[in-house]
């Protein structure tokens, strides 16, 4: 169950983490979809969003596909979230109440605020390089 991110964002995070474990290799959408066990059309759409942001690069042709557009040490998880879902979740009310603020809080404003700040901080600190080994172990289990 997704709590914060869209399904596309979850998949984007998984796909980019997968690519980070493979060095400079190029993978087409079919190969990525097979590795992550998701529909090819969905992965293609997500990878295109990541290509626009420069996180993922793409190559056309017979040996074409997707690869990391930057060094894994330069890509933070928050960059992927921003490219797909944007950062509004870290600024808006988790319950969707308009005008939710410190002055007029929603029922979970204080608790969510702390969680939101911790999540943002973690996503802003963790790079693909930091998570490479743990990702290799997880992908092998898929």
Q: Is the per-residue pLDDT at 99 higher than 60?
A: yes
Domain at 63, CATH number: 1.10.10.10
- Domain hosting residue 110, numbered range: 7-141
Q: Is the per-residue pLDDT at 124 higher than 50?
A: yes
Question: How many structural domains are present in the chain?
Answer: 1
CA gap 72, 32 in Å, rounded: 18
Q: Is 1 contained in some domain?
A: no
Residues near 32 by Cβ (< 8 Å), separated by ≥ 6? 15, 18, 19, 43, 47, 66
Quote the pLDDT of residue 34. 94
pTM above 0.85, yes or no: yes
Q: Is 2 contained in some domain?
A: no
């Amino acid at each position: 169950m997704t709590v914060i991110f869209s399904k596309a964002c979850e998949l984007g995070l998984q796909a980019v983490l997968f690519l980070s474990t493979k060095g400079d290799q190029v993978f087409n959408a079919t190969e990525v979809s097979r590795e992550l066990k998701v529909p090819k059309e969905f992965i293609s759409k997500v990878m295109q969003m990541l290509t626009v942001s420069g996180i993922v690069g793409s190559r056309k042709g017979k040996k074409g596909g997707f690869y990391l557009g930057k060094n894994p040490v330069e890509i933070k998880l928050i960059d992927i979230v921003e490219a797909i879902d944007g950062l509004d979740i870290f600024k808006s009310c988790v319950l969707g109440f308009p005008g939710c603020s410190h002055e007029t809080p929603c029922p979970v404003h204080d608790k969510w605020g702390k969680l939101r700040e911790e999540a943002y901080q973690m996503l802003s600190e963790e790079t693909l390089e930091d998570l490479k080994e743990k990702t290799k172990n997880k992908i092998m289990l898929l």
